[in-house]
Structure 1
């Protein structure tokens, strides 16, 4: 409220006027010489145009309260000599956010710029006090290519000298695609990892997964003279890590409104990093090379060696031996590739589908980056095409099965042939003559198998059953090929070692050997479910010079024997009895119906005559 006196009327009057309210940030504000200042000013509760003018003044601490014009939106001549040239070149200017809100911008603060600033409409005060600095030193990269998978360590030293309480943040980053022409053009900037102003470690968005997996770390150590030593480690660099690295230190202060402001920043280049891809240097060889021919029972030894892996690479290696094809294949080397054995980076060995090899072979690390596969007694099924597969994992990735390998390389093929004996196998199944089979009878099936070869052999016999075809109505039908509509049921087996395995439990089953080449399957107390087409499979097993038994791969399948169960005598007597009773009842009903019908017609005619 403002009081005015009207001398002509000689009366006192009260006139209410709008009070202009100008706001500035609450001071004091601390900034660093050499860095920009942006000071907002806004006016409220004003009259007139929506576009207001602003004038800025400075009261230096050592000028005894003398006012200095800085810049004005309406008077170009307001600026005093220390500011006039800076206003002309745009280093000191007023930037308008709206009609009633502006910012005083000083692009590069000087020591003489500190003092009390006034935004006139009228003004409120804002102070700039202090002269602080931050120093940063760096450790440069050597410039030599670093192999993929090697460890990278970068160090940044930073300290603060300030009379005020400030915090320091450190960021390690890199620039991609820097202009090779040297004109200073910088590529895309990627933040790798930071320690923020609140001392929290924050990974860059593209590096979070590697940070979570422990592949990237950042820690602070105490250096000489109170300096902070910040160390960033990459456990295994990747090709995409190539680029120009830098360390950025920022100084932060907390204003009276409790907001954090960046008051200083230094960014210094560390150097360029070039990551050499392992695929260009690493190779995998296997020995012996080409074709290998062995006698059955001889040891098979294959060696895998990893070459071209730099000594700086501390990554783990996983070595696998793969094989495709076997003596049972139509063409050696065809078929699906299967794993024989593997050694993980932690030294654990596991075997593929043929677990029996775990006791008949070994996989070892015989020298640095050299591995061997040994099969103590080679079998015909061990023939095929082998190759060694090496996967390179980052130093810790192999402990996490979900992490992919950095690189996978394969050796040349090694073809292994086993000198096998000529083996001929035949099998014939028959159902001995006897009484008709009925439910509750014992089904007895004979499998005669013949093996022609040299040396000790044993037959391994298996019995299978298919369901009866729908058109089969009598026994002793012997189709040459069992029906393929459904998979057969494995009933029982007599192993080459003499052990009997029974695979069904709904009937009493027994298997025995009648003679050197005759085997019998018996189904006791047979039920309707035991009907079907029966065949036997015979496989030839040979004995190697060390006394071990192996599958020769030769086998034969017998003809199919039909097993049909007839009805029992009591069932056959029941059928005419049921038929006779049914017929008598039908005839009686017909006679009674006929008599009743005739009697009713005659009675009706008699009533009509009366």
Structure 2
């Protein structure tokens, strides 16, 4: 029994020793074969060694056993012996067509730049021993099959040197096919070399930048290039496959609206792929075909926008005004959407200079929809039309003084997009020179005086009455439009508290109380008390605040505007304004309010005195009663 146990221990020890030795023994690996590669294209065989002793940089020797060589071994290339290659490989090794590229000290790859049919056979990777004992495998083999080159590529029409206008659509067609007994896949890629920067390079030579535009990969998926991803998502760059003659695939790439950056040299690239036994896809053949050069003519070089009439126009009040915007230099072969806007800056009364605020009067979108800007009343008193191709008009049926200003036509072009989306950026925006519109207006003089009629002191709960006397001097009838404003009463500032250098006073915005329109319509705005406004006479206007509260105190003033009628009967603001003096309204306390404090004080004092007296009397009475009981 003991003998059997000793034998088992010995066997186990030998087995473990062998396992440990094999765990660190040399191992050479190559890809799993057979590998199919195409004649005329490159072959790359990686070989790695592990579990070795000695230096980290190992040597490698490659052998070939040709199928027609009767099993004879041929030296291909070695990392340690320049005279290693056999005669068929000597010249190929010398000119670098056959070489060993080292990835690391123990990993290399055999590269045959142009594979030949006679290279078919079994390749062996051998690593000379640097170990103290000879253990493991020192070589590995893989079978390489050389298949004929059947990859074909062509195009139907090349690009010419004729410039293409910005926004035009281009279509590039490339045909490709493969005929192979093995299951291989085909991928197609359209690309571009160079661009705007490359074509303007200096004396140092043109720097060619290659960009992948779009491709159909080996799994038949459409993949846009990194810099074309957004344009592909927007539908501006597309690629589709069609069935051609004799089994050829026809691939059509379209760029919907070319941009200046699309300038460059275009090419089509077809690649043949195969699935190796290790389930990895390998590119085994590739051909590139130049399609031609594209030059994009920028829209900025030809586009111009002009408005008419030129200079300054001085129409009469109520007369019609027509402004015209003309867009020139658009390529006729490109369908482009236009956004046309009329902008206005300044007016006669505001005297706004070039730095003033510019507002939109009207616009026409690319789909022909007209919308009006800040002055919505113009939607019924004017029109914007497309009178001809590239010509747009703005009509004001009855000009008003508020229409005075400098008008400009702003045109945004969406090159190649007749109906762009709201988020689509404009290709180019240009602005015309300004047209001055200066209305002929008569002089209107206007003044206003606010007053608080004499009467009893105003108290909380009283009715505040304010009068605004207006004087309008003009040659034709006019109506006044009166606004009542209120400012808070400024807090008193003691002279002792004033510093030698004081900041500018803070001007508070007034509160709009009410407005009596030129047509007699009263508008009451937010206010804590009940408010009424009326017209006492042709020149006198009244504001009343009923049941006034302390919040109604303040500085009151009236603001007056003069309105007149044009020959068509429409009312317009003459831009003549005047603001009255400010009247201080202060509310005094009522008599009941003044008696409230002494009344409360008196009642409290009486209650206190009464309580003291009652307490004193009660205390004395109880003491006397206690004495009488003690005598008994």
Shorter-chain TM range is: 0.7 to 0.9
The corresponding residue for 1:350 is 371
Per mean C-alpha deviation after superposition, the further-off stretch among 253-262 and 38-47 is 38-47
> Do the aligned partners of 1:447 and 1:518 also contact (CA within 8 Å) in 2?
yes
Q: Specify which of 113, 122, 125 is matched with residue 119 of structure 2.
A: 113
> Do the aligned partners of 2:482 and 2:558 also contact (CA within 8 Å) in 1?
yes
In the TM superposition, what is the alpha-carbon distance from 1:182 to its structure 2 partner? 12
The Cα offsets for residues 283-310 of structure 1, whole Å up to 9 and x where unpaired, read as 0011111111101111111111110011
Per mean C-alpha deviation after superposition, the further-off stretch among 560-569 and 67-76 is 67-76
Kindly indicate whether residue 131 of structure 2 is the aligned counterpart of residue 125 of structure 1: no
Per mean C-alpha deviation after superposition, the further-off stretch among 303-312 and 87-96 is 87-96
Aligned counterparts of 1:492 and 1:585: Cα–Cα separation in 2 = 51
The Cα offsets for residues 112-140 of structure 1, whole Å up to 9 and x where unpaired, read as 22222222443423222321321111331
The Cα offsets for residues 335-373 of structure 1, whole Å up to 9 and x where unpaired, read as 211111111112222211111111211111111121111
The corresponding residue for 2:426 is 405
Per mean C-alpha deviation after superposition, the further-off stretch among 400-409 and 288-297 is 400-409
The Cα offsets for residues 431-477 of structure 1, whole Å up to 9 and x where unpaired, read as 222222222221111111121112332111110011123349xxxxx
TM-score (norm 2): 0.83
The Cα offsets for residues 508-544 of structure 1, whole Å up to 9 and x where unpaired, read as 1111111122111111111111111111111011111
The corresponding residue for 1:152 is 170
Per mean C-alpha deviation after superposition, the further-off stretch among 38-47 and 163-172 is 38-47
Equivalent runs, 1:211-360 vs 2, <5 Å:
211-330=232-351, 335-360=356-381
SS at 1:30's partner residue?
A: strand
The corresponding residue for 1:92 is 98
> Do the aligned partners of 1:215 and 1:396 also contact (CA within 8 Å) in 2?
no
The corresponding residue for 1:24 is 30
SS at 1:295's partner residue?
A: coil
The corresponding residue for 1:607 is none
Aligned counterparts of 1:333 and 1:578: Cα–Cα separation in 2 = 68
The Cα offsets for residues 384-437 of structure 1, whole Å up to 9 and x where unpaired, read as 111101111244597444443221111111111111111111111112222222
Cα distance change of structure 1 residues 458 and 85 upon mapping to structure 2, 3 Å threshold:
same
Q: Specify which of 134, 147, 151 is matched with residue 134 of structure 1.
A: 151
Uncovered stretches (5+) of structure 2, i.e. residues with no partner = 1-14, 127-137, 494-504, 611-632
The corresponding residue for 2:526 is 504
Aligned counterparts of 1:522 and 1:184: Cα–Cα separation in 2 = 86
Per mean C-alpha deviation after superposition, the further-off stretch among 536-545 and 91-100 is 91-100
Q: Specify which of 529, 543, 550 is matched with residue 572 of structure 2.
A: 550
In the TM superposition, what is the alpha-carbon distance from 1:330 to its structure 2 partner? 3.0
Kindly indicate whether residue 187 of structure 2 is the aligned counterpart of residue 166 of structure 1: no
The corresponding residue for 1:487 is 509
> Do the aligned partners of 2:335 and 2:417 also contact (CA within 8 Å) in 1?
no
In the TM superposition, what is the alpha-carbon distance from 1:197 to its structure 2 partner? 1.5
The corresponding residue for 2:554 is 532
> Do the aligned partners of 1:23 and 1:42 also contact (CA within 8 Å) in 2?
yes
Would you say how many aligned residue pairs link Structure 1 and Structure 2? 566
Per mean C-alpha deviation after superposition, the further-off stretch among 392-401 and 521-530 is 392-401
Aligned counterparts of 2:241 and 2:40: Cα–Cα separation in 1 = 27
The corresponding residue for 1:5 is none
Per mean C-alpha deviation after superposition, the further-off stretch among 241-250 and 118-127 is 118-127
The corresponding residue for 2:410 is 389
Aligned counterparts of 1:229 and 1:182: Cα–Cα separation in 2 = 40
Aligned counterparts of 2:220 and 2:145: Cα–Cα separation in 1 = 26
The Cα offsets for residues 302-339 of structure 1, whole Å up to 9 and x where unpaired, read as 11111001123323211111111112123676621111
> Do the aligned partners of 1:22 and 1:124 also contact (CA within 8 Å) in 2?
no
Aligned counterparts of 2:420 and 2:303: Cα–Cα separation in 1 = 22
SS at 2:378's partner residue?
A: helix
Higher strand share: 1
Aligned counterparts of 2:81 and 2:599: Cα–Cα separation in 1 = 131
Aligned counterparts of 2:228 and 2:121: Cα–Cα separation in 1 = 44
In the TM superposition, what is the alpha-carbon distance from 1:179 to its structure 2 partner? 9.0
> Do the aligned partners of 2:213 and 2:228 also contact (CA within 8 Å) in 1?
yes
Cα distance change of structure 1 residues 261 and 21 upon mapping to structure 2, 3 Å threshold:
same
Kindly indicate whether residue 201 of structure 2 is the aligned counterpart of residue 195 of structure 1: no
Aligned counterparts of 1:44 and 1:192: Cα–Cα separation in 2 = 43
The corresponding residue for 2:462 is 441
Per mean C-alpha deviation after superposition, the further-off stretch among 34-43 and 179-188 is 179-188
Cα distance change of structure 1 residues 248 and 210 upon mapping to structure 2, 3 Å threshold:
same
> Do the aligned partners of 1:58 and 1:69 also contact (CA within 8 Å) in 2?
yes
SS at 1:309's partner residue?
A: coil
Aligned counterparts of 1:464 and 1:229: Cα–Cα separation in 2 = 78
**RMSD over aligned Cα, in angstroms?**
2.9
Cα distance change of structure 1 residues 443 and 73 upon mapping to structure 2, 3 Å threshold:
closer
Kindly indicate whether residue 61 of structure 2 is the aligned counterpart of residue 40 of structure 1: no
Aligned counterparts of 2:203 and 2:575: Cα–Cα separation in 1 = 69
The Cα offsets for residues 62-90 of structure 1, whole Å up to 9 and x where unpaired, read as 34444433223344444333222111212
Aligned counterparts of 2:202 and 2:415: Cα–Cα separation in 1 = 34
Cα distance change of structure 1 residues 561 and 178 upon mapping to structure 2, 3 Å threshold:
closer
> Do the aligned partners of 2:43 and 2:111 also contact (CA within 8 Å) in 1?
yes
The corresponding residue for 1:73 is 79
SS at 1:103's partner residue?
A: strand
The corresponding residue for 2:133 is none
Q: Specify which of 82, 93, 103 is matched with residue 88 of structure 2.
A: 82
Cα distance change of structure 1 residues 50 and 438 upon mapping to structure 2, 3 Å threshold:
closer
Cα distance change of structure 1 residues 527 and 250 upon mapping to structure 2, 3 Å threshold:
same
In the TM superposition, what is the alpha-carbon distance from 1:158 to its structure 2 partner? 1.4
Uncovered stretches (5+) of structure 1, i.e. residues with no partner = 1-13, 473-482, 589-610
In the TM superposition, what is the alpha-carbon distance from 1:497 to its structure 2 partner? 2.0
